[in-house]
Amino acid sequence: MNRRTRLILAAALGAALLVGGTGVALAFQADASAQLRSSGQAGEQADGYLGLVGSASADIRAQVDAVNIKRRAYYTDLAAKRGAKIEEVAATTACELFRTKVGPGQYYRLPDGVWRQRDSAPIPLPGYCG
Amino acid sequence: MKPAILTRVRRDATRGVMRTASGLIVVLLGSLSAGCVQVSAPEKPIEINLNINIRQEVVVRLQQDVKNLIENNPGVF
């Protein structure tokens, strides 16, 4: 393989990686979790992760998994910074999401494990939410 | 007429170009599929444990950090 061929190959590899990276970035939408909540196929859980309401499509499942993996990374990071448990950061986040992000008609799941649909009233928060 | 220099000196010139082209295709396909793997579902789903064991004072201590986290990452929360 001469020098020029190597150069061409390196350029092609760089371009391909760039295209692939952009695709990944675009696949994760800026309002992914809001869209999942309003789809009615996913809801907020008291453990700080999105959950599937009923039998969701493979596409929704993949999106929920993608969001939850990112959440887990953020929880882990913040827990390490504040000397807290990952589960504690996650549960605190759930309190805040119940308070501010779950809209009327959207689904949520408290520690009792039952999926409920929020009506016009605020979600009755667990005692530890403060 | 003089034979072209490529044919005379590099009898494998065409084959060389073909090799380069097929190499490029392999590299392109490989990196594209590598890009796709990153967005696929994880091998093991995250286990959901709804038995929350947390004291209110911990929630209060973490609350402001959590609010910032949510605000700064609108796609994830």
CB pair distance less than 8 Å for B52 and A111: yes
Smallest Cβ–Cβ distance between A78 and the set B35, B42, B65 belongs to B65
Q: What ipTM was assigned to the predicted interfaces of this complex?
A: 0.77
Report A:40-99 residues touching B (Cβ under 8 A).
45-47, 49, 51, 61-62, 65-72, 74, 78, 81-82, 84, 87-89, 91-93, 95-97
Using an 8 Å Cβ cutoff, are B52 and A91 in contact? yes
pLDDT tens digits, A1-32: 567 767 666 666 555 555 555 444 445 678 99
CB atoms B52 and A31 under 8 Å: no
Q: Encode pLDDT of B15-48 as tens digits.
A: 666 676 676 676 666 555 555 555 555 565 555 5
pLDDT value at residue B1: 56
Q: Indicate the average pLDDT of chain A.
A: 88
User: In this structure, what DSSP letter does residue A48 have?
Assistant: S
Q: Rounded CA gap, A118 and A96, in Å? A: 15
Find tokens 């929880």 and name the residue.
A75
Judge whether residue B3 has pLDDT over 90: no
Q: What is the pTM of this model?
A: 0.65
CA-CA distance, A98 to A101, in Å (whole number)?
Answer: 6
Contact A89, B66 (CB under 8 A): yes
B33: its two tokens: 């599929």
CA distances to A38, A47, B47 from A53, in Å: 12, 15, 16
